[in-house]
């Protein structure tokens, strides 16, 4: 029986089986090839997408808008200042109205329960473009980039360096567990992922042969790594913690010395962007030959388009 995701929301990779994630990555590869070939497709003709953002973005917003628009659909951007999202109106009321106006909703904001509430009450597919807990569309783009470079995902060693309990690190760990990667979260113990999530991912790993490691030793973490990944040291909403984070995370900066500790010439560097060059990564690494961050950024669009194709058609 084939994979059928029609009508399903995309809130966290915990909700998706390995073959479903594989299906999304395969569609993404196909639509990227279409785009490169200059093909015009109109899969979303007559459909509408509400894009609701509490947090600003470059890649997530442009990926959703261009992916939906290229397919003939009509995306409508709504900031928190444009609608009554939990202000003067219950979330469930907003969700039920949007569910009658639109075919799908993309949300980017703070609380995971907000995107879950939209999905529960709207009755249409809802896509998580980032919450404080998870960033699942990003991980599809990351995996697509790794696969394009190495030809496969299973068994690849992916090291996340820095704030190892942020939304990207959480979702990378879940995705790695689902798809059979060797994932290492490396950071100071104060910023390790929750024991509950680590336990859940290790349980998933039992059926996929994935490996989940948590460490505070950068040199040990990156040995033989296929990919080294980092993110900003203070996520959106945590800017007041930046000074203490710089002191705490300086030993986890991705620099050329760290890249060379992999003992491999083909290790790639990944970053979800935006990057603060000189903090979590040095300019020579992110601008260097091992960096794949802009391929990764482009793949946000193709993977987001894939999610919408799989869930709307």
pLDDT digits (tens, 9 = 90+) for 73-94: 999 999 877 776 766 789 999 9
CA distance 189 to 182: 20
Helix (H) or strand (E) holding 203: helix 195-205
Tell me whether residue 42 is one of the annotated catalytic residues: no
CA distance 32 to 266: 24
CA distance 302 to 165: 27
Tell me whether residue 302 is one of the annotated catalytic residues: no
Establish whether domains 13-134+300-312 and 138-296 are of one fold: yes
Residue 57, annotated ligand binder?
yes
- pLDDT, tens digit (0-9, with 9 covering 90-100), for 170-200: 999 999 999 999 999 999 999 999 999 999 9
Q: Which of 103, 272, 290, 302 is catalytic?
A: 272
Contact between residue 250 and residue 244 where contact means Cβ atoms under 8 Å apart: no
Tell me whether residue 186 is one of the annotated catalytic residues: no
Beta bridge partners of 281: 254, 277
pLDDT at 52 over 90: yes
Contact between residue 180 and residue 206 where contact means Cβ atoms under 8 Å apart: no
Q: Which of 118, 61, 76 is nearest to 297 (CA)?
A: 61
The whole-number pLDDT of residue 78 equals 92
Helix (H) or strand (E) holding 177: helix 167-179
The contacts found for 34-42 with CB under 8 angstroms, 24 or more apart, are 35/70, 35/302, 41/70, 41/71, 41/72, 42/71, 42/72
The whole-number pLDDT of residue 82 equals 74
Q: Per-residue confidence at 158, pLDDT binned at 50, 70, 90?
A: very high
Residue 138, annotated ligand binder?
yes
Hey, what CATH class is 138-296 in? alpha beta
The whole-number pLDDT of residue 91 equals 93
CA distance 104 to 48: 7
Q: Which residue has the higher pLDDT, 243 or 34?
A: 34
Q: What percent of the chain has pLDDT over 90?
A: 92
Residue 201, annotated ligand binder?
no
Q: Domain coordinates of the chain in residue numbers?
A: 13-134+300-312, 138-296
- pLDDT, tens digit (0-9, with 9 covering 90-100), for 254-302: 999 999 999 999 999 999 999 999 999 999 999 999 999 999 999 999 9
Q: Which of 156, 182, 300, 302 is catalytic?
A: 300
Tell me whether residue 201 is one of the annotated catalytic residues: no
Residue 108, annotated ligand binder?
yes
pLDDT at 136 over 60: yes
Residue 136, annotated ligand binder?
yes
Residue 100, annotated ligand binder?
no
b or e along 212-232 (b: 16 or more beta carbons within 10 Å of the residue's beta carbon)? bebbbebeebbeebbbbbbbb
Instruction: Tell me what the mean pLDDT of segment 41-69 comes to.
Output: 97
CA distance 277 to 287: 10
Q: Per-residue confidence at 114, pLDDT binned at 50, 70, 90?
A: very high
pLDDT at 1 over 70: no
CATH number of 13-134+300-312: 3.40.50.1370
- pLDDT, tens digit (0-9, with 9 covering 90-100), for 195-254: 999 999 999 999 999 999 999 999 999 999 999 999 999 877 777 888 899 999 999 999
Instruction: Tell me what the mean pLDDT of segment 123-146 comes to.
Output: 98
Residue 231, annotated ligand binder?
yes
Q: Which of 61, 103, 132, 135 is catalytic?
A: 135
């Amino acid at each position: 029986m084939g994979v059928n995701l029609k009508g399903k929301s995309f809130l966290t990779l915990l909700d998706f089986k390995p073959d479903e994630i594989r299906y999304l990555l395969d569609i993404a590869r196909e639509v990227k090839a279409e785009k490169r070939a200059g093909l015009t497709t109109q899969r979303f003709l007559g459909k509408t997408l509400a894009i609701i953002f509490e947090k600003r973005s470059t890649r997530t917003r442009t990926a959703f808008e261009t992916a939906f628009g290229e397919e003939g659909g009509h995306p409508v951007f709504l900031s928190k200042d444009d609608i009554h999202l939990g202000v003067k109106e219950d979330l469930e009321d907003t969700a039920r109205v949007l569910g009658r106006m639109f075919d799908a909703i993309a949300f980017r904001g703070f609380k995971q329960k907000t995107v879950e509430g939209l999905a529960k009450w709207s009755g249409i597919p809802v896509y998580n473009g980032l919450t404080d807990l998870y960033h699942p569309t990003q991980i599809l783009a990351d995996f697509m980039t790794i696969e394009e470079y190495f030809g496969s995902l299973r068994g690849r060693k992916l090291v996340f360096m820095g704030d190892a309990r942020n939304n990207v690190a959480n979702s990378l760990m879940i995705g790695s567990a689902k798809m059979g990667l060797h994932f290492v979260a490396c950071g100071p113990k104060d910023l390790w992922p929750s024991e509950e999530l680590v336990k859940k991912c290790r349980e998933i790993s039992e059926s996929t042969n994935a490996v989940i490691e948590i460490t505070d030793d950068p040199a040990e973490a990156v040995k033989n790594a296929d990919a080294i990944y980092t993110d900003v040291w203070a996520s959106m909403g945590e800017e007041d913690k930046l000074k203490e984070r710089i002191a705490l995370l300086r030993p986890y900066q991705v620099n050329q010395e760290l890249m060379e500790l992999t003992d491999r010439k083909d290790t790639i560097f990944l970053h979800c962007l935006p990057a603060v060059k000189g903090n979590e990564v040095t300019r020579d690494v992110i601008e260097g030959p091992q960096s794949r961050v802009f391929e990764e950024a482009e793949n946000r669009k193709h993977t987001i388009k894939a999610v919408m194709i799989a869930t709307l058609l």
